Amino acid sequence: MKMVLICGKRSGETRRMKWAHVDLKHMIWTIPAEETKANRTHVEPLSDMAVEILEDFDDQFGRSGYVFKSPTVKGQPAQWLQKRL
């Protein structure tokens, strides 16, 4: 939930965030057109706090597929961002 508030993006876009679209070194998250309501690619800057959260997830869960993985369905994004997975 912190990422939704920090980034100011829709919950669905944030839940479907993929590691392939995140560049921690340059602090950028590229949201592909097919993932946005406006059907346009968005290049979003990431704040220091957002990068810190993503680095923490990387350390705990590793980088494969979705950043916020479903705890029950392999290869799918989390359905809710209510609590830390």
pTM assigned to the model? 0.80
Whether 66 is in a domain gets the answer no
In a domain, residue 67? The reply is: no
Residue 21, CA distances (Å) to 72, 82, 83 in order: 23, 22, 23
Amino acid at the residue 37: K
Number of domains in the chain: 1
Domain that holds residue 21: 2-61
Is residue 10 domain-resident? yes
pLDDT in tens, 32-69: 999 888 899 999 999 999 999 999 887 777 787 889 88
Any domain includes 70? no
pLDDT band at 74 (very low <50, low <70, confident <90, very high): confident
